[in-house]
Amino acid sequence: MFPVGSEEKKVKLTCQVRGNPRPRIRWKFNGTDVDTGMDFRYSVVEGSLLISSPNRTRDAGTYQCVATNAFGTVVSREAPLRFACK
């Protein structure tokens, strides 16, 4: 839940993964891959998805972490991001 009008200017969705070889992390938003190269507001830092200047219209929805290495892929449970008034 992200409070509308919050002083905080970022949302952080955490994905904690372990594996050998180390998994590559990507994120899905409403079932579609988040393209961190095309939208400057999104970045992946140590597996966590950071959303700068979150916007209710564009960012509310369901997120999933996807971890992949040579042995396979694991998809996290869905994590809903909602916006609420303070």
pLDDT score for 52:
92
| Contact status, residue 15 vs residue 23, Cβ threshold 8 Å | no
Which CATH number characterizes residue 71's domain? 2.60.40.10
86 domain-assigned: no
Residue recorded with tokens 């959303």: 51
pLDDT score for 76:
95
- Phi-psi group of 28: left, alpha or beta (phi > 0 → left; psi -120 to 50 → alpha; rest → beta): beta
Give the residue numbers spanning the domain of 56.
2-79
| Contact status, residue 41 vs residue 51, Cβ threshold 8 Å | yes
Give the chain's residues under pLDDT 50. none
33 domain-assigned: yes
Number of domains in the chain: 1
15 domain-assigned: yes
42's tokens: 């999104």
pLDDT score for 38:
87
84 domain-assigned: no
DSSP β-bridge partners for residue 78:
none
Residue 56: DSSP 8-state? H
Q: How far, in Å, CA of 51 to CA of 64, rounded?
A: 14
